């Protein structure tokens, strides 16, 4: 069975207008199986977020391959990549990216609305996730009234709503205090494990990385086991 996500000799070079080309990734290779979690550690500017963009099909490598469930994302059309991202990938950001005037439930339901899922089943799924995230009593509150930790829980429920094969998290606890960060990290790993999603997260925190099943260090454009 193919890994959920695989990087095969990925090369990515950025060419800023009027500037010298900068090779961020130079042969990065790694794989993550379904139900497992991996943390990517590296200094700022090392290419961690670039890897997540490649994994989501937002960006394309200059060489090498990124495979989602054994299919090369580069071989897909723009529309096919968008559908793969919609149907198979969930993303959690550092700064939540929630709509403050909507309730926790409405925010969690957004992916289902975009995909045209059956409303009743989607609502039941969202309420179940919010309950498991400890927000069963807050689902009707506008997210602007929630704490940072609570907002990140809503964002996690939104990312998992459509049962993605792959969950990508970009510094998911970087905007939270220590207690909230620990609670969100525990919830992220627990929910993803229960759902059978593979997790790839970017973090500067060694403590968070140590909670993943494996850790990869991004050094000199290559992924190495930490």
pLDDT tens for 50-104 read 999 999 999 999 999 999 999 999 999 999 999 999 999 999 988 888 998 999 9
Contacts of 12 (CB under 8 A, 6+ apart): 23, 24, 25, 47, 50, 54, 59, 61, 62
Residue 226 has pLDDT above 80, yes or no: no
Query: pLDDT-based confidence at 140, cuts 50/70/90?
Result: very high
Residue 17 has pLDDT above 90, yes or no: no
Mean pLDDT calculated for residue range 11-23: 88
Residue entry with tokens 């930790």: 149
- What distance in Å separates the CA atoms of residue 89 and residue 92, rounded to the nearest whole number? 10
pLDDT for residue 172:
86
Residue 157 has pLDDT above 80, yes or no: yes
CA count, 13 A, side-chain hemisphere, 208: 29
DSSP E strand stretches across the chain: 5-14, 22-32, 37-41, 63-68, 71-72, 89-92, 166-170, 198-202, 214-219, 222-225
Mean pLDDT calculated for residue range 34-49: 88
pLDDT for residue 205:
78
Residue 16 has pLDDT above 90, yes or no: no
Residue ranges per domain, the chain?
5-12+24-225
CATH number at 5-12+24-225:
3.40.50.300
- What distance in Å separates the CA atoms of residue 117 and residue 14, rounded to the nearest whole number? 38
- Report percent pLDDT > 70 for the chain: 100
Of residues 205 and 149, more confidence is placed in: 149
- What distance in Å separates the CA atoms of residue 203 and residue 197, rounded to the nearest whole number? 19
The C-alpha angle with vertex 178 and arms to 174 and 180, in degrees rounded to 5, equals 80
Pick from 42-46, 48-52, 152-156: least confident: 42-46
CA count, 13 A, side-chain hemisphere, 86: 14
Query: pLDDT-based confidence at 178, cuts 50/70/90?
Result: confident
Closest by CA to 147, choosing from 107, 111, 109, 177, is: 177
Query: pLDDT-based confidence at 180, cuts 50/70/90?
Result: confident
Closest by CA to 9, choosing from 200, 199, 221, 198, is: 221
Q: Whole-prediction pTM value? A: 0.91
pLDDT tens digits along 208-221: 889 999 999 998 88
Query: pLDDT-based confidence at 204, cuts 50/70/90?
Result: confident
Burial of 225 (0-12, 13-18, 19+ CB in 10 A): exposed
Regarding beta strands 198-202 and 166-170, do their DSSP bridges make them parallel or antiparallel, or are they unpaired? parallel
Residue 45 has pLDDT above 80, yes or no: no
Indicate the average pLDDT of the chain: 92
């Amino acid at each position: 069975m193919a890994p959920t996500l695989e990087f095969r000799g990925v090369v990515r070079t950025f060419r800023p207008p009027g500037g010298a080309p900068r090779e961020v990734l130079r042969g990065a290779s790694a794989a993550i199986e379904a139900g497992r979690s991996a943390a990517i550690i590296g200094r700022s500017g090392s290419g961690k977020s670039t890897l997540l963009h490649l994994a989501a099909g937002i960006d394309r490598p200059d060489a090498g391959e990124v495979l989602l469930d054994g299919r090369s994302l580069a071989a897909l059309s723009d529309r096919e990549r968008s559908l793969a991202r919609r149907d198979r990938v969930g993303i959690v950001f550092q700064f939540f990216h929630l709509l403050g005037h909507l309730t926790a439930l409405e925010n969690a339901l957004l992916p289902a609305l975009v995909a045209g899922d059956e409303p009743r089943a989607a609502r039941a799924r969202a309420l179940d996730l919010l309950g498991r995230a400890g927000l069963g009593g807050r689902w009707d509150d506008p997210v602007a009234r929630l704490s940072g930790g609570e907002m990140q829980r809503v964002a996690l429920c939104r990312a998992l709503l459509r049962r993605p094969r792959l969950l990508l998290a970009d510094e998911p606890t970087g905007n939270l205090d220590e207690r909230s960060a620990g609670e969100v990290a525990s919830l992220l790993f627990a929910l993803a494990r229960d759902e059978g999603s593979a997790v790839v997260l970017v973090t500067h925190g060694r403590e968070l990385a140590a909670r993943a099943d494996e850790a990869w260090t991004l050094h000199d454009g290559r992924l190495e086991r930490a």
